[in-house]
Structure 1
Amino acid sequence: MNQLVLEEISIAAPDAPSSLISDLSLTVAPGEIVTIMGRSGIGKSTLLSFIGGHLGRGFSASGTVRIGGRDITDTPAEKRKIGILFQDDLLFPHLSVGDNLAFGLSANVKGRKERRRCVEQALKSAGLDGFADRDPATLSGGQRARVALMRTLLARPDALLLDEPFSTLDNGLREDIRQFVFAHGKDQRLPVLMVTHDEADAAAAGGRRLLL
């Protein structure tokens, strides 16, 4: 099983007099959800960007990121096997729901029949059986969030990063989607690192909290 390990991470913003994050070390076990909280601008999302390999130009960083003992600090983002969910679902509007999911499939899944089977199984797991040919524009906010998560999981990530993924959902949907995401992360034994401003998100995650 893979664990996500951060070793002495320090990150500085462009032209900043001091570091946003200094000497942060953290281990997230498989199936564990760790929540990162703190005021706006403190570096929460920047930390996720560094872990995922998307740190913005001008930022400087040091330290080591490991997954399952594998040092991925200098690995290109597309080869890190890290799934990320953002505030926006980022579904492709020109693709059907099924094609959106197929886009996330691991390259190891070969053949049209097998890829279709994986997509249909993912839709069934999301409670969206029969939605493969639907236009994403016809989905509700909750349905779009479910599709976004399943697309991420179909890439078979070794870790999952959550960057305020529930903040745009209304209160009625938020609890359901939270539990849906957390349950799938735990079921797949993924180390999950979540950034949020919402105490309810942290309480629902039920794990450790890190205040930056």
Structure 2
Amino acid sequence: MNGHAFTLAGTDLIALASGALYWPAQDVLCVSDLHLGKAARRGRLGQATLPPYETRDTLARLGAVLGHTAPRTVICLGDSFDDPEAARELSDPDAETLRALQNGRRWIWIEGNHDPGPLGPAGEHMPNLAIGALRFTHNATPQGSGEISGHYHPKATVRSKGRAMSRPAFLIDATRVILPAFGTYTGGLRCSDPVLARLMSPDAIAVLTGARALCLPMGRA
């Protein structure tokens, strides 16, 4: 499996190169910050437009990961929709794709700052979720232990063939993991940003996503 295996709170996990987190023992797949409907929301607000295919692309990539891992449970760590209206305005083809992805598995929507409260799509809606020693939430807390979160869209930089390339990245230390944004056109926050440096321990690592997972010390990424 293309990813970086690690242990958090005594639990074996895999940070997949796709940007999803897999928990083999519980057959759980976790993704964060899909931001479905971002292009439509920007259009409603009169902001600079994005190509109108980001939702389709995000769902297609998510479908590919689900096809590879075949999890029984999917946990979406908040900001799954760019706002509550985006959840109601999914096109019929996108809504049908989402229903097909959900079919036959437990699907949990964790609330985010963009999509607070229960929304229309099927599934369970929760502010956060604890399973064993792990706690799934949208936004990291200073004292988090066994915490899996998103929100910050961390990115790291690596040099390849003389060029600096920025890639979404997991941030991992002994007490927490912060997932990269899975959605298309979601932007990101450099892992050297002070807010992330305050949350992560000095020995934290960054696992860069892409064609293959690349593990680096967070301080060098």
Fold match (TM-score > 0.5): no
TM range (shorter): 0.3 to 0.5
